[in-house]
Amino acid sequence: MDKEIKFLDTIDCSSSGTTAFVVVKQGEDLVVANLGDSRAILGTRIENGIKADQLTIDLIEAWNTEAERIRKCHGSVLALKDEAHIQRVWLPYDDSPGFAMSRAFGDFVLKNHGIICIPDVPYHRLTPNDEFLVLATDGVNEQKFIDLVALDG
């Protein structure tokens, strides 16, 4: 997809990009492709209610592996003082762009410094106890959201 985006002369994607999130269900098989900061949360019936099972990996939380790749490509991974909980990707020897994701389409200024457009692709085999799937962007608390959806019902 990055190859196609590069050839668009109407959009400057040097410091602009996007994430993507796709779910495919075929029979009892569920495949999720996550490129960015979205989540797939499965509501699974248990004895005393419904439990939230996050199917996706928070790439921001997998920073050990992601940051290693970025540093090998001479990118910097640092947090801002007032947002110490958010690791960001920076150009070497520069204070920009401060990108809070490790994977995305576009954002070409960081492609040579470890930002990739290859999604994480988890697989899940559905069971009769799996009741619903919530697709959400960043900032969503899994169990609170599952409880809300389960109440509505």
Q: Mind spelling out the 3-state secondary structure of the chain?
A: CHHHHHCCCCCCCCCCEECEEEEEEECCEEEEEEECCCEEEEEEEECCEEEEEECCCCCCCCHHHHHHHHHHCCCEEEEECCEEEEEEEECCCCCCEEECCCECEECHHHHHHCCECCCECCEEECCCCEEEEEEECCCCCHHHHHHHHHHHC
pTM confidence score = 0.73
The pLDDT value given to residue 2: 63
The pLDDT value given to residue 9: 66
The pLDDT value given to residue 133: 92
The pLDDT value given to residue 66: 87
Calculate the alpha carbon distances from 13 to 32, 73, 104, 121 in Å. Answer: 25, 20, 11, 25
Q: Could you say which residues of the chain have pLDDT below 50?
A: none
The pLDDT value given to residue 26: 97
Residue 77: count other Cβ atoms within 10 Å of its Cβ.
Answer: 17
